[in-house]
A and B are shown apart, each in its own frame.
Chain A
Amino acid sequence: MTDNILDNIDMKQLGKLLEQARKQKGMTQEDVAKLIEVSTTTMIAIEKGDRPFQPAELIILARTYRKSVSDFVRQRPVIKPFDIQLAGISHNNEQAEAEIKPCIFQLEELCQNHLELEQIMQSSLPRYYPPEYTVSGMPIETTAEAIANQERQRLGLGDSPIGLFRDILEMSVGLRIFYISMPEKYAEIYGYNEELGGCIGINVTHPEELRRWSLAYGYLHFLIHRHQSVCDLVNIREQYETLPKSEQLAETFAKYFFMPTSSLLKQFNGRCQANQGGKFTQTDLFSLAHYYGVSVIAMTLRLEEMQLLPAGTWDNLKERGFRIRQTQQDLHLKQLLERNDLNPIHYQHLAIEALNQGLITEGQFAKFFQVDRLEARHIAELLREYSSEMDEQAGNLDLRQNSNERAVYAI
């Protein structure tokens, strides 16, 4: 008689994965029990890892969940699910949870993939984490501005506009940032655990200015309450006073981080001086917003707050029915250019090198990018333009002049 191959697998872990896959599919233990012709009690025991089961049953379950058997049996790093709190939601909590859960699952899976790639390639994501900022009991405006200024200093950004914000957070901080599709009202998911560090999911369906703003939210969560995972909604101005303190701080931080007072004041004055009669026109407003990579509303409100524009300017503009996208097009302001790929740069590089070196299959590569094989080949083609295209031996060459000087680099 053939031995049961599943006897060699960690049944507790397999049970957890099966439970997770069933929930993602929205099925009950009873539904699934019927499929493999066992009782519900047996199915519960299988998911707890208390009862061995047959390989053929695993194949049926994988096919039902539209997952690969490989997803259940290959050695993958185990990650603790994020315990995400929904920020600023006081009612319809259950409905909101049901809406956002698939996105949280997706973020967790992508983070797990990233760790798996790091293990395969033996190359972890470098972390340049600052210590957590202490904010309790401090006034919001002052605290937010101070953190924004310190972080700008630390990241070497001076007070210039911030381009390629996502890349900065990925490369200069070491955050894992994924752009995933979420229902419109959700802006960002921030998650943290010891194995992964800081992870951020951004709603890819939003315009770039909003995605950048949401990234700043995620970054602030990382800076002030790193270990607390949270999901943010798109906040609207009228709701500011009702938001939790941490959300108010995030909103205020984003404002100072993208539009530092000294720099904005200089730009504003420069534009007024250049215009006849010292005017500040609608064109100036749009170009400033574009220059700092923020929305027109964010720029208008910031200028109102700095008393550079009269209070109520935004409301007046709105009442006059001006159209933001149309005006941007008329002014030939190009769309902000940021990467909106699903995965972080580090993830993409690891995946293409692993494929080139024959450490993962094409099917696995496609799964890492959550696309079909043809699209995966397209992605691979694009990434190969930037990758070493080397085999395993050449890809592992240490290019430093003298690899014995390792200690010097480590300092």
Chain B
Amino acid sequence: MQFKSSHLLIDTCCLINLCASGELLHILQVISISVKTNIVQEVKRELQKIEHLEEFESAVEQGLLLIVDFASDTEINTFITYAMEIDDGEAATGAIAISRGWAMATDDKKATKFLSQQAPSLQIVSTPEIIKYWSETANIDLFKLSNILQEIRVKARYSPSKNHFLKVGGKW
């Protein structure tokens, strides 16, 4: 996978998964070599409601995750149009990513389908793709990688959909 833009906006569901990996800071450090990682206010607010996401707070404090907000009437209007269909986090992430030509990260089925229809050129990446990119770039050994995937499965209760291209024989 290659990032096709300078910035990546990460949605709530992906961040929960990355936090569960226990490697959020390292993942963001590695990714930030290629792309600046951001979240929207709506995602920040939602994550703050969830307990035990300390790594997320550290990532914000260390500037590995920059908080962005709407910068134009167009972005606000697009956000509200999208919020008629999807939740605020995904709507704001999608509106800003599309308006600024950034990539976004989400695992949400409805959001992915809806936003791809709105902007076919929008690059949408998923948790498995981010993990794969990080593990390959940082040479993470298979044993550690397997443990991390297990952590995500158990702590974040996430497993890619059965059709995900990185899922082989029911496993990832």
A interface, CB within 8 angstroms of B: 2-6, 55-56, 58-59, 62-63, 68-70, 73-75, 355, 358-364, 367, 372-374, 377-378, 380-381
A59 to nearest B CB, angstroms? 7
Q: A55 touches which one: B13, B49, B73, B89 (CB < 8 A)?
A: B73
Residues of the A chain whose Cβ atoms lie less than 8 Å from the Cβ of B49: 372
The CA-CA distance from A373 to B16 in the complex, in Å, is 9
The reply to whether B157 and A361 contact each other, CB–CB distance below 8 Å, is: no
Chain B, 19-73, CB within 8 A of any chain A CB:
42, 45-46, 49-50, 70, 73
21 sampled A-B residue pairs with Cβ under 8 A: A2-B73, A2-B77, A4-B77, A5-B81, A6-B80, A55-B73, A55-B76, A55-B79, A56-B70, A68-B42, A68-B83, A68-B88, A69-B83, A73-B84, A74-B84, A74-B85, A358-B113, A363-B87, A374-B157, A377-B157, A377-B158
The reply to whether B76 and A56 contact each other, CB–CB distance below 8 Å, is: yes
The CA-CA distance from A59 to B45 in the complex, in Å, is 13
Q: Does B109 contact A (CB under 8 A)?
A: yes
Residues of the B chain whose Cβ atoms lie less than 8 Å from the Cβ of A62: 88
Residues of the B chain whose Cβ atoms lie less than 8 Å from the Cβ of A378: 157
Known: A2-B74, A372-B49, A374-B156. A361 touches B80 (CB 8 A): no
The reply to whether B87 and A68 contact each other, CB–CB distance below 8 Å, is: yes
Residues of the B chain whose Cβ atoms lie less than 8 Å from the Cβ of A5: 77, 80-81
The SS class assigned to the A binding surface is helix
Known: A373-B46, A374-B156. A363 touches B90 (CB 8 A): yes
B93 to nearest A CB, angstroms? 11
Known: A358-B113, A377-B157, A378-B157. A70 touches B88 (CB 8 A): yes
B76 to nearest A CB, angstroms? 5
Q: Does B96 contact A (CB under 8 A)?
A: no
Residues of the B chain whose Cβ atoms lie less than 8 Å from the Cβ of A355: 109
The CA-CA distance from A39 to B110 in the complex, in Å, is 40
Q: 7 tightest A-B contacts by CB?
A: A363-B87, A358-B109, A377-B157, A70-B83, A5-B77, A2-B73, A68-B88
The CA-CA distance from A59 to B113 in the complex, in Å, is 25
The reply to whether A372 and B50 contact each other, CB–CB distance below 8 Å, is: yes
The CA-CA distance from A55 to B46 in the complex, in Å, is 21
The reply to whether A74 and B83 contact each other, CB–CB distance below 8 Å, is: yes
The reply to whether B46 and A363 contact each other, CB–CB distance below 8 Å, is: yes
Q: A361 touches which one: B16, B84, B87, B158 (CB < 8 A)?
A: B87
The CA-CA distance from A388 to B128 in the complex, in Å, is 25
Q: Mark B127-148, 1 if CB is under 8 A from A, else 0.
A: 0000000000000000000000
The CA-CA distance from A74 to B87 in the complex, in Å, is 9
How many pairs, one residue from A and one from B, have CB atoms within 8 Å of each other in the complex? 92
B interface, CB within 8 angstroms of A: 12-13, 16, 42, 45-46, 49-50, 70, 73-74, 76-77, 79-81, 83-91, 108-111, 113, 156-158
Residues of the B chain whose Cβ atoms lie less than 8 Å from the Cβ of A373: 12-13, 16, 46, 50
The reply to whether B110 and A69 contact each other, CB–CB distance below 8 Å, is: no
Instruction: Give 16 new A-B contacts, CB below 8 A, not counting A3-B77, A55-B80, A362-B12.
Output: A6-B80, A55-B76, A55-B79, A62-B88, A68-B83, A70-B83, A70-B87, A73-B80, A74-B85, A75-B84, A355-B109, A362-B87, A363-B46, A372-B50, A374-B16, A374-B50
B64 to nearest A CB, angstroms? 21
The CA-CA distance from A73 to B78 in the complex, in Å, is 12
The CA-CA distance from A306 to B3 in the complex, in Å, is 79
The CA-CA distance from A361 to B107 in the complex, in Å, is 10
Residues of the A chain whose Cβ atoms lie less than 8 Å from the Cβ of B85: 74
Q: B83 touches which one: A56, A63, A73 (CB < 8 A)?
A: A73
The reply to whether A69 and B157 contact each other, CB–CB distance below 8 Å, is: no
Residues of the A chain whose Cβ atoms lie less than 8 Å from the Cβ of B81: 5
The reply to whether A70 and B111 contact each other, CB–CB distance below 8 Å, is: no
B153 to nearest A CB, angstroms? 10
Q: B87 touches which one: A4, A358, A359, A364 (CB < 8 A)?
A: A364
When C-beta atoms are compared, the residue in chain B nearest to A374 turns out to be B50
A67 to nearest B CB, angstroms? 9
The CA-CA distance from A164 to B108 in the complex, in Å, is 36
Q: B90 touches which one: A73, A361, A374, A380 (CB < 8 A)?
A: A361
B167 to nearest A CB, angstroms? 14
Residues of the A chain whose Cβ atoms lie less than 8 Å from the Cβ of B111: 361
Q: B157 touches which one: A3, A70, A359, A381 (CB < 8 A)?
A: A381
Residues of the B chain whose Cβ atoms lie less than 8 Å from the Cβ of A58: 80
The CA-CA distance from A145 to B145 in the complex, in Å, is 66
The CA-CA distance from A167 to B76 in the complex, in Å, is 45
The CA-CA distance from A372 to B13 in the complex, in Å, is 11
Residues of the A chain whose Cβ atoms lie less than 8 Å from the Cβ of B16: 373-374
Residues of the A chain whose Cβ atoms lie less than 8 Å from the Cβ of B79: 55, 59, 69
A9 to nearest B CB, angstroms? 8
The CA-CA distance from A386 to B144 in the complex, in Å, is 33
The reply to whether B108 and A361 contact each other, CB–CB distance below 8 Å, is: yes
When C-beta atoms are compared, the residue in chain B nearest to A357 turns out to be B109
The reply to whether A363 and B83 contact each other, CB–CB distance below 8 Å, is: no
The CA-CA distance from A194 to B157 in the complex, in Å, is 40
